[in-house]
Amino acid sequence: MKRCQIEEAQSGLAELPHWDLFRETAVGRYLLDREQAFVRRFLSAVPRPVSLLDVCCCAGRSTLPLSGLASKVMGLDIDMNALRVFRGRSGGYPAVRADGQRLPFADGSFGCVVAIQCALYFDLDRLLRECCRVLREGGWLIFQVINRDNYKRRLKRLLGRSWGDYPSVDLSLEEVLRTVLACGFEVGGVEGYNWLPLVPDIAPLSDSRLLVSVASSVERGLRLGRCPRFSPWVLIAGRKGFSRAEGP
């Protein structure tokens, strides 16, 4: 990539608010596509009408593409500025400023709860128990975690690199799944993703379409999504009262 192209990419991204910055890169769009496909698989199995809550909705980049699959969509975030953007983009969908570990809703309020790229900020047990509480029987919780034992972290240690780590990520996938079960869910689906090379979450490398195209093709071709134990990021679907009904 030429220097002028790098500077242009960095300048364009810098003009975006921080909650949209990474999502507008090639890597960010790849992650969003994978997350959306996973959510749709399970959301399509929820009986209509369905109400959806997006915990840590930010400005709605994950929420709004799902609005056609739900009769009611609500966003929740602690950042008031992001919620203002969410309301503007959504045309008036309700949005609540609150802590994801203390959801201000009655028991059984939603048919689906989505919590993408937010579990690392919370105590996982508290987050999952609150999500279970506000879900109806048979409802789906779809969330994402960063796997402590993923290949990138192992490789970074060998290379002496530390960027991109999250101090709060201290659970293996096995420990996460045990927590899911302990919080009242049965596991309906697990899928690994974000097997992209060791690229910092900043331009210009994160906006390399060629890099993302090649890496995602390798990921699909080798079916790396079926190797969540070593996957950097993992999507998990848990169903409240799963044993009473079949999954998708």
Q: Where are the domains of the chain?
A: 3-239
H and E: helices and strands count for the chain: 8, 7
Most distant CA pair in the chain, distance: 58
Indicate the residue type of 147. Answer: N
Q: Which residues in the chain belong to E strands, given as ranges?
A: 51-55, 72-77, 95-97, 110-115, 135-146, 185-193, 233-240
Q: Is the pLDDT of residue 13 over 60?
A: no
Q: Is the pLDDT of residue 199 over 60?
A: no
Q: Write down the pLDDT at residue 134.
A: 98
pLDDT band at 15 (very low <50, low <70, confident <90, very high): very low
Q: Write down the pLDDT at residue 101.
A: 93
Mean pLDDT across the chain, nearest whole number? 82
Q: Is the pLDDT of residue 95 over 60?
A: yes
Indicate the residue type of 202. Answer: I
CA distances, 93 to each of 17, 102, 244 (Å): 20, 21, 32
Task: Say what the pTM is.
Answer: 0.84
For the ranges 119-128, 163-172, 193-202, 216-225, which has the lowest average pLDDT? 163-172
Q: Write down the pLDDT at residue 205.
A: 59
Q: Are 32 and 38 in contact (CB under 8 A)?
A: no
| Cα dihedral 111, 117, 118, 120 sign | positive
CA distances, 99 to each of 63, 72, 78, 79 (Å): 18, 20, 6, 10
Higher pLDDT, 25 or 128: 128
Closest Cα to residue 90, out of 117, 55, 65? 65
Q: Are 242 and 184 in contact (CB under 8 A)?
A: no
CATH class of the domain comprising 3-239 = alpha beta
Q: Which of 9-18, 97-106, 195-204 has the highest mean pLDDT?
A: 97-106
The tens digit of pLDDT for each residue in 34-48 reads: 999 999 998 887 777
Q: Which residue has the tokens 């992650």?
A: 31
Q: How far apart are CA 191 and CA 34, in angstroms?
A: 10
Higher pLDDT, 87 or 237: 237
Q: How far apart are CA 198 and CA 218, in angstroms?
A: 15
